[in-house]
Structure 1
């Protein structure tokens, strides 16, 4: 078994084993010479695409496991490096008391959903800052995007088929809540049963703003989009990464700032 990760520039027997295994699977790296060069990068990327993995050209735990060269697909966790002090730098205007109160449940939920590697931790924290910079789960307020000039609160959500809404009062009942601002009957119906202790969020939508529930909803929502998010991040497309969660680019400035701050404060870890 190989501990990994293996990446371009590495030169050892583990790389030779990787090259031999790639060739056996039908993805030739060129010369089997133990040197992780461009040919090996291309072969790893082709294999990753074939297996539905992040095509970053790095042989991390998931790639090595798919090749039969590692026993575990678990990515190194960034959680030990995430402290209240570090997060307070990522959230420069947020009361530190809110971070102390709510950060533990958010980090625990990320571990539970197996997205505690650095890119997903950054994605979670940046999402929280873009959605609820106060670092408390809150309910969405009325705005011109959800309420018409002469209509009742959240009437522009009432008939949104893409949200699974069926008309009034669905818009107000299933408005955005929590850290990820979970919105729409369909999302409430989908994610309630996925919680560690299932909750009927359709009957009791306000539970989505409970701190523990909100943390789990954030983690579950991001986990369902992990590969797409990582592809966007790999391409440097922060707007797309934000859109995959928000459906648009609202809060993109805060999202990008939080991600940049966190990237420099949290140490790099292994890739997929």
Structure 2
């Protein structure tokens, strides 16, 4: 299925223009030429429908307009996500770790429909920032989670924003996996999203199992996909990183991996 954007022309553009007009978003002349009027109408429609406002009529926008079906092809760069390409994004990571864990991560992204280039780059850059070894890991003690005279992760124990209820919740629900899932609330929420019921709350260590960690990464990013893409359209990697981490921790690694990925992954 064609992606329609500024400069495109033909019958598909004319159909798009007519459909936008029917929906109340006037593109100007119905002439089959995708110019500034069509771009503005697409943008307005995307904002109205909660779609990524990029002015490009891609698969999701066309499907929303009734101009594409679920049978149409969706962007999929995963066939180009090779061990060699990802190794370029992870210059300090053992290749064996990437070879062992990359297939599961790609399968999880595909299962959530996150196969387009921006979201694949987001996922891989997030792994670089959170688990550069490309293995699902558990968070270690640091000055951000453990006080000078406290027990491990005591600064997390009563974090109401994380849903923690006191010791030992801080340590029990510390960051785990590729996305460093943290807090009782998130363990419960994403356990439900993954169809695991209370398993992650009862057995939080399972979040570090490779298959579960891949599913958690994909589910977490899917929840924030529209916001992430808006940040990426603006080329604001800091904002994209904050949507996962809540701050700028690991931003240097995230940005380095993302820029490397732009060079090595197919457009």
**What TM-score does the superposition give when structure 1 sets the normalisation length?**
0.95
**Offset of residue 208 of structure 1:** 0.5
Aligned residues: 266
**Offset of residue 198 of structure 1:** 5.1
The structure with higher relative contact order (CA 8 Å, sep 6+) is 1
The aligned residue for residue 2 of structure 2 is 4
The aligned residue for residue 126 of structure 1 is 125
For structure 1, the residue ranges without an aligned partner over 5 or more in a row are: none
CA displacement 1:219-260 (0-9 Å, x = unmatched): 111110100100111111111100100111101011001101
The aligned residue for residue 22 of structure 2 is 24
For structure 2, the residue ranges without an aligned partner over 5 or more in a row are: none
Are 2:253 and 1:222 equivalent residues in the alignment?
Answer: no
The aligned residue for residue 54 of structure 2 is 56
**What TM-score does the superposition give when structure 2 sets the normalisation length?**
0.97
The aligned residue for residue 259 of structure 1 is 258
CA distance in 2 between counterparts of 1:78 and 1:36 reads 26
**Offset of residue 266 of structure 1:** 1.2
**Offset of residue 265 of structure 1:** 1.1
CA distance in 2 between counterparts of 1:116 and 1:81 reads 11
**Offset of residue 76 of structure 1:** 1.2
The aligned residue for residue 114 of structure 1 is 113
CA distance in 1 between counterparts of 2:85 and 2:250 reads 21
- 8 Å Cα contact 1:62/1:74 also seen in 2: no
CA displacement 1:187-207 (0-9 Å, x = unmatched): 001111222555611110111
CA distance in 1 between counterparts of 2:42 and 2:183 reads 40
Q: How does 1:148-227 map to 2 (within 5 A)?
A: 148-195=147-194, 200-227=199-226
The aligned residue for residue 136 of structure 1 is 135
The aligned residue for residue 102 of structure 2 is 103
Q: Which moved more, 1:33-42 or 1:66-75?
A: 66-75
- 8 Å Cα contact 2:188/2:198 also seen in 1: no
CA RMSD of aligned residues (A): 1.2
- 8 Å Cα contact 1:77/1:116 also seen in 2: yes
User: In 2 relative to 1, CA 108–198 (structure 1 residues): closer, same or farther, beyond 3 Å?
Assistant: farther
Q: Which moved more, 1:187-196 or 1:204-213?
A: 187-196
1:35 to 33, 36, 40: 33
- 8 Å Cα contact 1:139/1:175 also seen in 2: yes
- 8 Å Cα contact 2:89/2:260 also seen in 1: yes
**Offset of residue 66 of structure 1:** 1.1
CA distance in 1 between counterparts of 2:108 and 2:142 reads 30
